A = this chain, B = another copy of it.
Amino acid sequence: MNYLVLKITGRAFNADPHLLRRYVNVVKSLLDARKLVVVTGGGAYARKYIEVARDVGVESNYWLDLIGILASRLNSLLLISALSNHAYPHPPESIEEAVKAVGCYKLVVMGGLIPGQSTASVLLQVAEALGVKKVYYYSAVGRVYDRDPARYPGARPLSVITASELKSILEQRTLPGEYALIDANALEISVRSGIEIQLLDYREPEQIYNALEGENPGTIVIPR
């Protein structure tokens, strides 16, 4: 049985419930033909909790990250509870637990794993562990642009970009709750194990059907 490995940005969990229902339906329909591992991001509550922690004097990035990780698992649990007939009943806390779980269950949903590592890295690590060569990543924008679209109205979306180009474009941020679209560590795993990343727009869960039929609805990151 083949595997589908994807990530859903935390943002999808704090938007309207209708969007989340669409994700639930998409995941359910994908389960018919394959096993799924879904990685969930942290989102607004993660950031909110991290902010409160800072307010009460927590300065350690380790602890702030742990809070973000637990919040991302709350998003995992939300998805698990909606698909509990098919899912491994709790978010794995290591890649090894995920690998074990996927041997017995059709659906595994997990959040962050360790401080200092983004959930995008988790996505790539799971793919590497399972020998999967393409992952799907629902992100805030769904595309990479040639310039920052927030500042340049004429910025144009790219359909393909290499991992090393993307690495030089992205401003690296590694603060808790503030991980960039994708971090250097994730891109390195992508390159070393030849894993292609299909970016998708988190507002359009159904885009994955097109992507599975060979279309490219967002940007593809080539592992080079």
Contacts and interface: CB of A to CB of B under 8 A. Distances in A.
Interface stretch (A125-133, A145-153, A154-162, A197-205): A125-133
A211 interface: no
A75 B118 CA distance: 22
A77 B115 CA distance: 14
A193 interface: yes
A17 B55 contact: yes
B78 A49 contact: yes
Given A60-B84, A67-B74, A174-B188, 7 more contacts: A49-B74, A60-B81, A63-B77, A66-B81, A116-B189, A175-B192, A184-B188
Given A60-B193, A70-B73, A73-B70, A81 B53 contact: yes
A29 interface: no
Interface residues on A, range: 35 or more
Contacts of A77: 63, 66-67, 70
A103 B104 contact: yes
Interface of A: 13, 17, 20-21, 24, 45, 49, 52-53, 55-58, 60-64, 66-67, 70-71, 73-74, 77-78, 80-82, 84-85, 88-90, 94-96, 99-100, 103-105, 113-116, 121, 124-125, 128-129, 131, 172, 174-175, 184-185, 188-189, 192-193
Contact of A20 (B56, B94, B115, B121): B56
Contacts of A56: 17, 20-21, 24, 78, 82
A15 to B, nearest CB: 10
Nearest to A121: B116
A192 B175 CA distance: 7
Contact of A78 (B52, B61, B88, B103): B52
A52 B20 contact: yes
